[in-house]
Amino acid sequence: MTRSLAAWILGLDLELILLLVYLVVLWVGGWVLERLARAHFDRAARLAHAGFAYDAELDRYECPQGELLTLHTYDDRDKLAMYQAPARSCNECVLKTFCTPHDEGRRVYRSLSEFHETDLGGFHRRLSLVILGVSVVFAAGGLAAWRTRPGGGLLAIATGVAVVLFWRDLRDAPAAVPTGS
């Protein structure tokens, strides 16, 4: 069974095998692109308040020196919550020069936007849509060329997978695509 499967695979056109590999590269590429972008979005958000621990239950931050930053303002339009430490405490702190350039107390901004709501989320989503769209065209083109030859079935499956992946990305796209000013 294994031997006959191997013989069947070895009997396939090299170009067909390359095409299938390329389709997998495109699917993985589209997925990795969005995952990486999202991971860096989260990382950038973390770096924005590195060293400050957020307590979700009490909705406040604690600075490395143990001072608490409580919710100061909430900007609904920009989806930003701003937390601030007491000015006097910061101005007396030994780490002030490394922490904040002004005397009003250290602030931390927390973005409440989801990744897909941002322009960057939309940018990466559209790129991944193009990647998956290319995979649909290549899979369908390959299917047309190999439909009566060995391996045509594999391309039929690949076309189905490509269409499903593209459709899933497209379905989520409207919320992600920036609408301009």
Partner 1 sequence: MANRRPMLVSPLWMQGSILTFVIGFSLLAFSAIRMYQDHAPVPERIVDESGKPLFTGAQILHGQEQFLTYGLMQFGTVYGHGAYLGPDFTADYLHREAEHMIKQYGGDGKARERTRDELRGNRYDPATGTLVWTAGQAAAFEEIHKHLQEQVYNRESSGNGLKPAMIAADEDARAITAFIAWTAWTSAARRPGLPYSYTNNWPAEELVGNSLTGDAIMWSALSLVALLGGIGVVLGVYGRHSPLIGWHESEEQRVRFAAPDAVPLTPAQRVTAWFFLVVAALFLLQNLVGGATVHYMVEAGGFFGIDLPRWLPYNLTRTWHLQLAIFFVATAYLAAGIFLAPLISGREPRGQGLLSAVLLGALAVVVFGSLGGEYLSYHGLLPQGLRSFLGAQGWEYLDLGRFWMYLLIIGMALWLVIIYRGLAHRLAGESRGNLPWLFLYSALSIPGFYAVGLLTHVQSTFAIGDFWRFWVVHLWVEDFLELFTTMLVALIFVLVGVVSERFATRLIYFDVMLYSIGGVVGTLHHCYFSGGPAVEMALGAFFSAAEVIPLTLLTVEAWSFLQLGNRRQVGGAAAFPHRWAVLFLASVGFWNFLGAGVFGFLINLPVVSYYEIGTLLTSNHGHAAFMGVYGMLALALLVFCSRYLARPEDWNEGLVRFSFWGTNLGLMLMILGHLFPLGVLQLGDVVTNGYWHARTEWFLNHPWLSWARMPGDLVFMAGSAPLVWMTLKIALRTRVAPPTVDSSGSYVDYALYTEVGPAQG
Site track for partner 1 across 101-140, x = CB under 8 A: x--x-xxxx-x-x---xxxx--xx-xx--xx--x--xx--
Residue 3 vs 94, nearer CB to partner 1: 94
Beta bridge partners of 83: 71, 108
Structure tokens at 13: 């056109």
Residue 46 vs 168, nearer CB to partner 1: 46
**Interaction of residue 170 with partner 1, rule CB under 8 A:** no
**Interaction of residue 12 with partner 1, rule CB under 8 A:** no
Query: Which amino acid does the sequence have at 9?
Result: I
3-state secondary structure of 66: coil
**Is the torsion defined by CA of 81, 86, 91, 95 positive or negative?**
negative
**Interaction of residue 98 with partner 1, rule CB under 8 A:** yes
Residue 1 vs 91, nearer CB to partner 1: 91
Q: Which of 55, 59, 78, 103 binds partner 1 (CB under 8 A)?
A: 78
Write the secondary structure of 131-171 as one string of H (helix), E (strand) and C (coil): HHHHHHHHHHHHHHHHCCCCCHHHHHHHHHHHHHHHHHHHH
- For residues 117 and 15, give the distance between their C-alpha atoms in angstroms, rounded to a whole number: 40
CB of 164 vs partner 1, minimal distance in Å: 19
- For residues 35 and 10, give the distance between their C-alpha atoms in angstroms, rounded to a whole number: 34
Q: Which of 5, 7, 10, 14 binds partner 1 (CB under 8 A)?
A: 14
Site track for partner 1 across 29-68, x = CB under 8 A: -------xx--xx-xxx-xx-x------------------
- How buried is 76 (Cβ within 10 angstroms: 0-12 exposed, 13-18 middle, 19+ buried)? exposed
Positions in the binding site for partner 1 (CB under 8 A)? 14-15, 18, 22, 26, 36-37, 40-41, 43-45, 47-48, 50, 72-80, 82, 84, 98-101, 104, 106-109, 111, 113, 117-120, 123-124, 126-127, 130-131, 134, 137-138, 141, 180-181
